[in-house]
Structure 1
Amino acid sequence: MSDLQQILLGTGLLTLSAIIHVTAVALSVPLFGRLAERLPEEEWPRFRIVVFLAFAVFVLVFAHTLQVWTWAACFLAITELPDLSTSFYFATVTYTTLGYGDIVLGPDARIVATFCAITGLLTFGISTAFLIGVLARILPNVFSKDPKA
C-alpha cells in the first residue's frame, strides 16, 4: 500500500471513529434526562451520582470498544497479522498509544497505525471532556467558582 493510500485509509478510519464516538455521546445525552426523571436528586442523591457516572463510563467504553474493533478489522485486512486476536491486541495497544513494540507492522501499514494512535488521543480527549461535563452537571457545587458553595 502506498503512503498516499495509507494516509487516505487512516484519515477515513479516523473520521469514522470520530463519528462513532461523537454519535455515542450525543445519543446518550437524552438518556441522562430520562435517568434524571427516574432518579430525583432529593430522593436518591448518592445513588444518582453513581448511576450517572456508571452510565457515562458505559457509553464511553462501548464507543472505544467499537472503534478498536473497527481498527482491528482493518489491520487484519491490510496486514499479515495471523488472526483476529493478534489484530485486536495490536489495535488496542496502538489506539491507547502504549506501543509495546512486540508486534511491528511493515512499511505498507505503518502510517495507518499512526492514525489509529491519533484516533485514540482524540477520542480519549472527547471522553475526558464528556466525563467532566457529566460531573459538572451532577455535582455543580464541586465545580462552582464560589468557595463557600
Structure 2
Amino acid sequence: MGMGLFAVTILAHVAGFRLLLMLLDRRFPAEGHPQPGLGRMMIVASPAIAILHHAEAALWAAVYIGLGILTDWDTAVYFSIVTMTTVGYGDVILTGEWRVLAAFQAMNGMLLSGLSTAFLFAILQQYWVLVRKNG
C-alpha cells in the first residue's frame, strides 16, 4: 500500500510540475517579452507547489479513512500533513502494522519536499541564465 501511494504521489508531483511549467510559460512568455522578476515567478510557483503538497497529503488522508485507520477527515489530513513534513507531534499516532505506512508517508514527504526544492532551484537557475544572457 505504501509503495503504491509513494508512486502515485511522485507521479502526481511530476505532473503538477509539468502543469506549473506550462502555466508559467503562458503567464511569462520568454521570447520577445520583458522577463518577469524572480519574485513574481516564485510568488506564482511556491503557492502552487504548496497546493500540490496539500493534495498529496489529502490522498494519504483519504487512504487512512478508507482503510478505517483514522475515522474523521480533519484528523486524517492533520496527521497526514504532520507526517509528510516529518514534524511528527505524536498527538495522533497509528498502531500496529499501520505504523510502517506512516513511515512510508514520512519518507515520501521528504522526497516530495526535495523534489519541490529542486524544482524551485531549477526555476531560479533558469532565470539567472536568462538574466545573464540578456544583461
Matches within 5 A, 1:98-113: 98-113=87-102
The more displaced of 70-79 and 10-19 is 70-79
Question: Could you say which residue in structure 1 is the equivalent of 2:4?
Answer: 12
**Distance of 1:27 and 1:80 partners within structure 2:** 33
Deviations 1:76-115 (A, max 9, x none): 2224423111111111111101111111211131111111
Letter in 1 for 2:71: P
Pair 1:95–1:104, CA change in 2 (3 A): same
Pair 1:25–1:141, CA change in 2 (3 A): closer
Report the Cα offset of residue 58 of structure 1.
2.3
Root mean square deviation, CA, Å? 2.2
Letter in 2 for 1:40: P
2:107 alignment partner, one of 87, 109, 118: 118
Which blocks of at least 5 consecutive residues in structure 2 are unaligned? Answer: none
Letter in 2 for 1:59: A
Which blocks of at least 5 consecutive residues in structure 1 are unaligned? Answer: 1-8
Deviations 1:6-62 (A, max 9, x none): xxx000001000011010001221222222228622xxx5xx322211111122112
Question: Could you say which residue in structure 1 is the equivalent of 2:119?
Answer: 130
TM-score by length of 1: 0.78
Give the greater-gyration-radius structure (CA): 1
Letter in 1 for 2:108: T
TM-score by length of 2: 0.86
User: Between the two proteins, what is the percent identity of the paired residues?
Assistant: 33
Indicate whether 1:40 and 2:40 are aligned: no
Question: Could you say which residue in structure 2 is the equivalent of 1:56?
Answer: 45
**Distance of 1:63 and 1:119 partners within structure 2:** 14
Equivalent pairs counted in the alignment come to 131
Question: Could you say which residue in structure 1 is the equivalent of 2:22?
Answer: 30
**Distance of 2:9 and 2:81 partners within structure 1:** 14
